[in-house]
Amino acid sequence: MTQITDDTLTEAGLTPNGDGRVLLIACGALAHEIIALKNTNGWDHLDLQCLPAIYHNHPEKITPAVRDAVTKHRAEYSDIFIVYADCGTGGLLEAACDELGVKLVPGPHCYSFFEGNDTFAAREEMTCFYLTDFLVRQFEAFVWKPLGLAKYQGQRHKDLRDMYFGHYTTLVYQAQIDDPALTAKAKEYAARLGLEFERRYTGYGDLEAELQKL
């Protein structure tokens, strides 16, 4: 495939905006964190457009949506940065970004880059179920209800829970901020799933480092 570059756009009469503005095309699940980083660091040159956070549960929708958004806005900005990692796309998102001439956050998923990709990879955790601040806030909408766990009680509920979470041992809450209320909720969800609980304060991890480069 032909890589789309600034020269390609210029030849087509679509010269990118040269005012230094950067568009972040991001997962909606990261909106709170990105806005917090923008405000804290005064990154007024960064504009944010979020794709639906529910794509967290439908990774097959991520790459086409990113491609459409880049194509729509490419001529308006000096640069575009994709605030996703691979996120279950099986390499398709990275390939599309290479073709489009844009970069994305390195790593397999947000759990990895929040903790730091090197640190996360070194843990080699295979039996941990992860929640971020966003997923703690949206646990019912993004975990409990989509998996059908809200529909049943008794044995049917237990069977479903064991089917989805039987191979996990620990719920790891990766906290981006210190919020006792979120920690209490995460601990409650661990108990609901029958898992041990661990809280790790990650802050913004590699996400902040990658945005700092912009």
- The residue ranges of every structural domain in the chain are 6-104, 117-201
* CATH architecture under which domain 6-104 falls: 3-Layer(aba) Sandwich (3.40)
Number of neighbours of residue 190 by Cβ within 10 angstroms:
21
List of residues 6+ apart from 205 with CB closer than 8 A: 113, 114, 115, 116
Q: Residue 154 has what pLDDT?
A: 86
- Strand 170-175's sheet: what is its strand order? 128-131, 170-175, 196-201
**Residue 47 DSSP SS3:** strand
Digits of tens for pLDDT over the chain (214 positions)? Answer: 434 444 444 443 334 455 789 999 999 999 999 999 999 999 999 999 999 999 999 999 999 999 999 999 999 999 999 999 999 999 999 999 999 999 999 999 999 999 999 999 999 999 999 999 999 999 999 999 999 998 888 898 899 999 999 999 999 999 999 999 999 999 999 999 999 999 999 999 999 999 999 9
Q: How far apart are CA 38 and CA 48, in angstroms?
A: 10
Q: How far apart are CA 56 and CA 75, in angstroms?
A: 28
Q: Residue 190 has what pLDDT?
A: 98
Q: How far apart are CA 55 and CA 58, in angstroms?
A: 4
Q: Residue 84 has what pLDDT?
A: 98
Q: Residue 17 has what pLDDT?
A: 53
Query: What size, in residues, is the chain?
Result: 214
Helices and strands (H and E) in the chain: how many: 11, 7
Helix, strand, coil percentages, rounded to 5, for the chain? 50, 15, 30
Q: Which residues pair with 7 in a beta bridge?
A: none
Half-sphere exposure of 25 (CA within 13 A, CB side): 24
Q: What is the CA radius of gyration of the chain?
A: 19
